[in-house]
Amino acid sequence: MIQNKRQVTLGITGASGAIYALNLLRHLSLHFEQVHIMITDAARIVFATELNINLPVAPQKILAELNALCPDKQAELFVYAKENWYSPVASGSAAPKQMIICPASMGCISAIACGASNTLLERAADVILKEKGQLIVLPREMPFSTIHLKNLLMLSETGVTVMPASPGFYGQPQSIDELADFVSARVLNHLGIDNRISTVWGYQSKPDLNDSD
């Protein structure tokens, strides 16, 4: 891994919303040089259930599948097993300074909030926090319990950006992909990447609010 390349970490957990993860990965792969990926076992089940994409177990086979799913990518993708403690994302001296968890299950949120590092994904998030990097989490749950809200508040108080996968409708999206594009665009904005992936508020056609009829 070359340290001076623009790189980002993407964690994908088993919350509903695999479409958000895949859409975001495709956009990240166009704007970064390296994308470091961790996919939980539960996420693989959700990919199969929601997208009919059967991701294999072995990281190298997952990598081959993701490369095929991102045909226009500019980035080099890396996929790590959940206990690969030798991977760069496990070390404060080597990990990227930006990380997104999309979608973020409430179990994952809980583990990060209490400082658990039982898996590589949790450790990677812990590294971001201790190194004062940028962590963005996209929780996908409804409704939130009081425990969920307390855990999210704890993360927010440590500087984590809590960004629920809540697409806007003012651009009059015509497909699920456009809804996912909206969420990816907001994530990229917070990563400091200017984009026009989806309609920006104030640029769409406006209704005539003076029409008294």
170 is in an annotated binding site: yes
State yes or no: cis peptide before 88, omega within 30 of 0: no
Sign of the C-alpha dihedral computed for residues 184, 189, 191 and 197 taken in this order: positive
Closest residue by Cα to residue 166 from 138, 197, 137: 138
Burial 41-80 (b: 16+ CB within 10 A, else e): eebbebbeeeeeeebeeebeebbebbeebbeebebbbbbb
196 assigned ligand-binding residue: no
Task: Return the structure tokens found at 17.
Answer: 């919303």
The Cα-based distances of 82 to 4, 39, 90, 101, 161 in angstroms read 25, 8, 11, 14, 24
Per DSSP, what are the bridge partners of residue 162?
137
Any bridge partners for residue 35, and if so which? 8, 77
Beta-carbon count within 10 A of 172 CB: 9
Give the Cα separation of 92 and 94 in Å (integer).
6
Was 20 annotated as part of a binding site?
Answer: no
- Residue 186, marked binder: yes
Is 14 annotated in a binding site? The answer is yes
40 is annotated as contributing to ligand binding: yes
Terminal CA-CA length for the chain: 63
User: Does the annotation place 13 within a ligand binding site?
Assistant: no
Known binding-site residues for FMN equal 14-16, 40, 140
**Which residues fall in the annotated binding site?**
14-16, 40, 140, 170, 186
The annotation places the binding site for dimethylallyl phosphate at: 170, 186
